[in-house]
Structure 1
């Protein structure tokens, strides 16, 4: 891939359908077989060293990080988006957070936070400290969300978007979806029998400590020193802002940049 990756991706994202209104329900994704405790489950019995070679492009491990997409490294929160400038260039769609807009909700230590999908179209990655080091991601091209712990081998890693795109073998991405590691956050907001994660050009994360590449769909490192390591999935809920706030009236909500600080 070349330095045009980010530009191609931005065009594809802009052309994609917006989140829009959600169905009148919420969906919870535990990654824990229903007991609410965060854990990590294997995607399939596969040699992790072969994941990158079997995906597309197979040369992803030799592809450099492409500048352009900057993740959030110092998130800011408020009770709503009343402080957000109507001309904010970092927000996809309406600069106001309407009741019907999609949010990813997380509860930790008796507190609640909401991460609006609209704030991810430009950044895709949020590094937070909430119930421990937290990673919240959204891939506009795949319409997939993934929430996990940022702790790997006892160290809290900082993640960012590599600017590269990679398609994992479909059997692995479907297994990750069925297992609850990733969830659909598309135009209708909640997964149903007619909607699924798109097994297409997927967000490739990298950690700044080792520059290992991580597949968002698989929540697994596919290149570098951490190859084969899986992230621990954290419980999350996909909802509308109105429904989430009704269920969690004391919730905070992520503010987009420039309120939240972006990576260099």
Structure 2
């Protein structure tokens, strides 16, 4: 389902469905939400997500990220000039192997997926509708994958989305509030270039295609302000917005 056609009334019928999808973990009889369920795609909204025609790269993912010490002196696109990169801007921060990168939500909200390398191939994602951020490895079965945006939205069953936030798979944030909670709504659906499988961002799981049921390997991340992140990581690089960073849309590339 395309974003413009996604209706607010998506919860109709899902409350009862979600209860049927709760799985069992372990042998103690306790019932906990789990995303390991074949055919989960049809129990979300829309249930036809695997048949929906995707609009690849209508929202161009970043696949050639560029970083600077800050945005000072950078030739920023008009969309980023009014506020620039002030200390109160919200960022998603990642620190690995002694290096650190900050990803401003102002950029992530417009591109949603960043294919980066920091210690190992890294996938940085943000769904502005759900206010959900996720960082994971881009390695699938030992191969490095490039991820893009399908242009589709899919709302997982409520129990699964709640479990994903509770166990730290995704973090909540908005462009103005690093403490915002994840919103219960239609969520970013990504695809991987090797197979075209579709991935639910909030579940970190493939819901359609050859990789259905596989999960991404989550990497630790921090939601904070640019000022606080830079104070704790003085040598950090910060993501520069396209066209300073390259995207899967050739029209936005430089050179």
1:180 is matched with 168
Q: Which has the higher contact order (CA 8 A, sep 6+)?
A: 1
1:58 is matched with 47
1:213 is matched with 198
The 1-side partners of 2:177 and 2:105 are apart by 10
The 2-side partners of 1:111 and 1:46 are apart by 32
TM-score computed with the length of structure 1 as normaliser: 0.80
Q: 2:215 aligns with which of 216, 230, 233?
A: 230
The 2-side partners of 1:84 and 1:174 are apart by 40
The 2-side partners of 1:184 and 1:147 are apart by 12
Q: Give the CA deviation at 1:198.
A: 1.0
Q: 1:104 aligns with which of 92, 96, 105?
A: 92
* Structure 2 CA distance for partners of 1:49 and 1:204, relative to 1, 3 Å: same
Q: Which runs of 5+ in 2 are unaligned?
A: 9-31, 250-255
The 1-side partners of 2:37 and 2:188 are apart by 18
* Structure 2 CA distance for partners of 1:61 and 1:148, relative to 1, 3 Å: same
Conserved in 2, the CA contact under 8 Å of 1:85 and 1:95?
no
Q: 1:76 aligns with which of 59, 62, 66?
A: 66
The 2-side partners of 1:141 and 1:63 are apart by 19
Q: State which structure, 1 or 2, has the greater radius of gyration over its C-alpha atoms.
A: 2
* Structure 2 CA distance for partners of 1:7 and 1:170, relative to 1, 3 Å: closer
Q: Give the CA deviation at 1:124.
A: 0.4
* Structure 2 CA distance for partners of 1:87 and 1:232, relative to 1, 3 Å: closer
The 1-side partners of 2:224 and 2:186 are apart by 25
Q: Give the CA deviation at 1:49.
A: 2.0
Q: 2:152 aligns with which of 149, 160, 164?
A: 164
Give the match's secondary structure for 2:110.
coil
Conserved in 2, the CA contact under 8 Å of 1:48 and 1:227?
no
Conserved in 1, the CA contact under 8 Å of 2:200 and 2:207?
yes
Conserved in 2, the CA contact under 8 Å of 1:84 and 1:96?
no
1:155 is matched with 143
The 1-side partners of 2:214 and 2:101 are apart by 27
The 2-side partners of 1:140 and 1:134 are apart by 20
- Kindly report structure 1 stretches of 4+ aligned residues shifted beyond 6 Å: none
The 1-side partners of 2:112 and 2:126 are apart by 5
TM-score computed with the length of structure 2 as normaliser: 0.82
Say what the alpha-carbon RMSD is for the aligned residues.
Answer: 2.0
